[in-house]
Structure 1
Amino acid sequence: MTFAEPQVTTNYSFLRSGSDPGEFALAAAALGYQAIGIADRATLAGVVRMHVACRSARIRLVVGTRLDLTDAPPVLVYPMDRAAYGRLSRLLTLGKRRATKGNCALSLADLADHGEGQVVVSLAPEGRPTTTKMDRFRSELIRLKERFADRTYLAVSPLYRGYDRARLMRLGDLADGLGVPLMATNDALYHHPGRHVLHDVVTCIRLGCTLADAGKRLLPHGERYLKAPEDMARLFAARPDAVAGAAEIATRCTFSLDELRYEYPAEPVPAGSTPQRELVRRTWAGAAERYPQGVPAKVVSTIEHEFDLVAKLNYAPYFLTVHDIVLFARGRGILCQGRGSAANSAICYCLGITSVDPTKHDLLFERFVSAARDEPPDIDVDFEHERREEVIQYIYARYGRERAGLAATVITYRSKLAIREVGKVLGLTPDTIGALAKATWGRGNGLGGETAQVAGLDGTDPTLALAIDLAQDLRGFPRHLSQHVGGFVITRGRLDEMVPVENAAMEDRTVIEWDKDDLDALGLLKIDILALGMLSCLRKGFELLSHRLGRLSAWLTCRRRTRAPTT
């Protein structure tokens, strides 16, 4: 391997990059890379998308992250194997759980506590290599070397200044004296030179300033793109060992997200039984209640068919978990109702998860669970919106926050917000920004060459044309992570060793960094714990009936009235 760019910052560093993971992967493949490393800031939010994109492009992904430590220079951290990845994920969870949402607070001691199996790369100080600066940095590098031994590297990247060669030689001499290998990187912030302006724009959005006022807060050049391996070899001709160091890290860090193995929680079952046997027992017990006159032959055949497929795919623990949650809710008097494709399941009907008999309507079970599709089941359960939080907190208490968390939702830029943000950065007047925003529409592009004319503005104005083009590029970029409406991921082992867990904006909620698309890509199961206002309304209606009629009314006591025949 000649060179592997180890430090790519994607737009999942949130307003610090001008390109998405897929664009980096495609560009790397086109440039002849065999591997590429992701190093978003204190997050693994983009690694699944990068993993999928790299797999499609047939290049290897080196998983990593950048940590801005509270008491040491910034470092890049790359797990060498699955165990080290788990420690890195727990480290990020630690930093995020002790900080406010969107932040991460970690010290060098925290990193050392989770440092086994990690390659730790110190970032060199910016600016001229003065003696004072180098002496201070030398002491910091010694601290890293003492803790991480031969897994310590020093990153060197060109600043594209006249003193670059002198800086490279000073840093190289310092590293040689301490026995620390160099690692070459261009600190890629966008995949192509043409994204330089967009990177400046997202930087201004993050800093809350205009391009005109940004000054030295922007990079003075447009060189932070993914460069070809031969270009990197030329830039580091004076220290070819730095290029070799980058390739060495890619070789040492063999961990792949393909190694993640999801195991659903092993629900408690009677001694000597198994989850499948317990599911069978509960289902037939429920069937006896659903069909008090005897279970029809058609239903028996349907249930047996479903048992076979569930056993083949080993999904019994999943059904038992959902059943446990439903039993908790009903034990608390919380109305709940399964919906969606789960209504196609006779097992779900017999367990009381759903209330529709699929055999009466000839519903196809394979629409819910199918071996051919190789997709995990997805049971959506609605709960009273006023009492859903009781169910959510039960799940946290039942499994622990290290094993259960809400899925994330990636909040992205849509056309209207994109044009507003870009317009502010370019210094357009509020009236002009408002007119452009009103000229966009819907969830689609809503932006094009005719946008200015539709807004009643001068379509030949180059600033307006630039704003529209940049807003089009910004559309779809992630703004921040929010929480899914109710998708829970529950694991047998530690969830925080699979994905970092952070505090949600809502009190007593914790959220993982991956969304439903990431979970689907890795084959991770989730349960949707949803809120439905109508269930709260129905409960209040039942309470009113109970008060008026003097007897308890409930969901299953309601019977459909047979319509009188018409004449």
Structure 2
Amino acid sequence: MFVHLHLHSEYSLLDGAARIKKAVARAAEMGMPALAITDHGAMHGVIEFYKTCKNTGIKPILGCEVYVAPRTMDDRTPKVDDNLNHLVLLAENEEGYRNLLDLVSQGFTRGFYYKPRVDKETLAAHSKGLIALSGCIAGEVAARVLDGDMEKARQAAGNYRDIFGPENFFLELQDHGFAEQRQANKGLLEIHKSMNIPLVATNDVHYVRRADAANQDVLLAIQTGRSVDDPGRMKFQSEELYLKSPEEMNMLFGEQPAALRNTLEIAGRCNVEISFGKYLLPHYVVPEGYNADTYLEELCYQGVQRVYGELNSQIKERMKFELGVIKQMGYSAYFLIVWDFIHFARQSGIPVGPGRGSAAGSLVAYSLGITNIDPLKYGLLFERKRNALVKPGETGKLPPRGQPRTKLRWALIA
């Protein structure tokens, strides 16, 4: 048996042609127990991949082939920082998944230079829960082997082993018929024997079936802005980057059975469960003596006194009603988060809109300064009447008497 741990879906834009649904279906057809997604530098396809695998009865392995900057992710010197090293990262558990999300986000927001990049310092700070594979011939270890510098190749392998731990870093063997790969594999085997770093066999999957190679070639032509007929353009001189069967992988790497077995071991170790239908709000730190509900109430009453002065019964009743609904629905922390960044924006001279949608009908939002439209003056409603508390299968059934029949449809940050 064999598990593919290196796959580029359609979310590896203009490079991957392995559509998620077709790839997962093909893996299931071949009896594979699991499948990984490792798009270039991004994780846009992870949720679709996860759901598709779950619906098909295959374990999803969530990963990414990140770009590692040759120096640091903050360096952007032309011709010095252009060449990037590939590294495959797989989430072993929830901590690893969150670390991977953080790495990819930092790659775009902090390290972007032609492509999203990370560096070894950032990898070390987010290495827990991650399994690393050395990547294709564009990986640092294989690239050093191809340069003929085995000392630097061993040094690179040792660096990654130190970052991720001896049980979490694997030397990646690939064979798509390229002479460079076979040369790299010889060097990787030497490093494996001298440094006792485990091996893993992969196919650099870019399309599902061999016949799809032409489609992927068109993507590469578009990516590089060249005609498919241009003899000098970048292209893969192989039709072997497809989702191969366990039998085909065994024919390639039968002499390295441990490299094949390790695909199953890694797949067995990777167990990430993603929960849907739950609010995942950042933790908002409130002053001592408060919780999210009481701090929100305090800010609201300070704000409402500031804008209205004397509080009449209408204002008090409206505020009590809105805060009650917000508290019951667990939205107090959400309001505090929005208030925090809106307050910061206004204090910093950053333009903020007046509010839109049903948010503009909230007295709470108005008192906090999130919106600047007086809902009482213009008779705006806080709620849109919906059967919000209706459970699935109970469409049309109203909530019990005394419970609010509202559904907040906030558009505060849209």
TM over 0.5: yes
Whole-angstrom distance in 1 between the partners of 2:56 and 2:297: 44
Residue 5 (structure 1) shift: 0.8
Q: CA deviation at 1:203?
A: 0.5
User: Closer, same or farther in 2 for the Cα pair 1:175/1:186, shift >3 Å?
Assistant: same
Shift in alpha-carbon separation, 1:87–1:319, aligned structure 2, 3 A: closer
Deviation, structure 1 residue 290 = 5.4
Q: List aligned pairs for 1:372-521, cutoff 5 A.
A: 379-381=410-412
Structure 1 residue aligned with 2:174: 157
Q: Residue 344 of structure 1 contacts residue 365 of structure 1 at CA under 8 Å; is this kept in 2? A: no
| SS of corresponding position for 1:12 | coil
Which amino acid counterpart does residue 135 of structure 2 have in structure 1? L
Q: Which residue of 1 aligns with 2:375?
A: 356
Contact 2:36–2:60 at 8 Å: present in 1 too? Answer: yes
Distance of aligned partners of 1:264 and 1:161 in 2 relative to their CA distance in 1, 3 Å threshold: closer
Shift of 1:189: 0.5
Partner SS for 1:321? helix
Deviation at 1:277, TM superposition (A): 1.6
Distance (whole Å) between structure 2 residues aligned to residue 329 and residue 91 of structure 1: 27
Q: How far is 1:54 from its partner? A: 2.8
Q: Compared with structure 1, are the counterparts of its residues 257 and 295 closer, same or farther at alpha carbon in structure 2 (3 Å cutoff)?
A: same
Please list, as runs of the form range in 1=range in 2, the aligned pairs for 1:71-470 lying within 5 A after superposition: 74-92=86-104, 95-96=107-108, 99-108=111-120, 111-112=123-124, 114-123=126-135, 125=137, 133=146, 136-137=149-150, 140-141=153-154, 143-145=156-158, 147=162, 148-160=165-177, 172=189, 175-214=192-231, 217-258=234-275, 262-266=280-284, 268-269=286-287, 271-284=288-301, 294-296=312-314, 300=317, 303-327=319-343, 336-349=353-366, 351=368, 353=371, 354-357=373-376, 360=379, 364-365=383-384, 370=388, 379-381=410-412
Q: Which amino acid aligns with 2:153?
A: E
Partner Cα separation in structure 1 for residue 195 and residue 346 of structure 2: 65
1:497-556 superposed Cα distances (whole Å, 9 cap, x missing partner): xxxxxxxxxxxxxxxxxxxxxxxxxxxxxx33xxxxxxxxxxxxxxxxxxxxxxxxxxxx
Normalised TM-score (structure 2)? 0.72
Q: What SS does the corresponding residue of 1:155 show, helix, strand or coil?
A: strand
Distance 1:343 1:178, change over 3 A: same
Give the 3 Å change call, closer, same or farther, for CA 175–95 of structure 1 in structure 2: same
Q: Is the 8 A contact 2:67 2:115 kept in 1?
A: no
> Deviations along 1:235-289, whole A, 9 cap, x unmatched?
43333322211111122233444499833342544x4222212323444555665
1:112-157 deviations in whole A, cap 9, x for unaligned? 454444322223549xx9xx84964575145424524232212122
- SS of the aligned residue for 2:134 comes to strand
Q: Is the 8 A contact 1:326 1:336 kept in 2?
A: no
Q: Is 1:55 the equivalent of 2:74?
A: no
The answer as to whether partners of 2:41 and 2:117 remain within 8 angstroms in 1 is no
The answer (yes or no) to whether the contact 2:66–2:89 under 8 Å persists in 1 is yes
2:319 touches 2:364 (CA, 8 Å); kept in 1?
yes
In structure 1, the gaps of 5 or more residues are 382-526, 529-567
The equivalent residue for 1:417 is: none
Distance 2:381 2:337 in 1: 26
Alpha carbons of structure 1 residues 59 and 345: separation in structure 2 relative to 1, 3 Å: farther
Q: Which one-letter code corresponds to 2:46 in the other structure?
A: V
The CA deviation at 1:32 is 3.1
Which AA in structure 2 matches 1:140?
A: A
**Structure 2 vs 1, CA of residues 214 and 330 (structure 1 numbering), >3 Å: closer, same or farther?**
same
Q: Amino acid of the residue matched to residue 268 of structure 2?
A: T
How much does 1:316 deviate?
0.6
Q: 1:237 to 1:365 in 2, by over 3 A?
A: same
Deviation at 1:188, TM superposition (A): 0.7
> In structure 2, what is the Cα distance between the partners aligned to 1:344 and 1:372?
23
Q: Which has the higher strand share?
A: 1
Measure the CA separation in 2 of the matches of 1:373 and 1:21.
32
Paired residue secondary structure (2:358) = helix
Q: Secondary structure at the match of 2:216?
A: helix
CA RMSD of aligned residues (A): 4.3
> Hey, what does 1:442 align to over in structure 2?
none
| TM-aligned CA deviation for residue 7 of structure 1 | 0.4
- Larger of the two Rg values belongs to structure: 1
Instruction: Compute the displacement of 1:8 (Å).
Output: 0.7
Contact in 1 for aligned 2:384/2:408 (Cα 8 Å) = no
Identity of aligned pairs, percent? 22
Residue equivalent to 2:6: 7
Structure 1 residues 310 and 261 mapped into 2: Cα distance closer, same or farther (>3 Å)?
A: closer
Question: When you count helix as a share of all residues, which structure comes out higher?
Answer: 1
- Structure possessing the higher relative contact order (Cα contacts under 8 Å, 6 or more residues apart): 1
Give 2:36's aligned amino acid. G
Q: Which residue of 2 aligns with 1:18?
A: 17
> Any conservation in 2 of the 1:344–1:358 contact (CA below 8 Å)?
no
What residue identity is the alignment partner of 1:187? D
CA distance in 2, matches of 1:276, 1:32: 51
Q: Specify the alignment match of 2:37 in structure 1.
A: 38
**Structure 2 Cα separation of the partners of residues 268 and 183 of structure 1:** 48
**Which residues of 2 match residues 513-552 of structure 1 at below 5 A?**
527-528=413-414
C-alpha displacement of 1:211: 0.9
Change (3 A) 1:265 1:372: farther
1: distance between equivalents of 2:303 and 2:123?
51
What is the rounded CA distance, in whole Å, between the counterparts of 1:348 and 1:253 in structure 2?
Answer: 43
Contact 1:122 1:141 in 2 (8 A): no
Counterpart for residue 544 of structure 1: none
User: Which letter maps to 1:76?
Assistant: V
Show the counterpart of 2:399: none
Displacement after TM superposition at 1:215 (Å) = 5.0
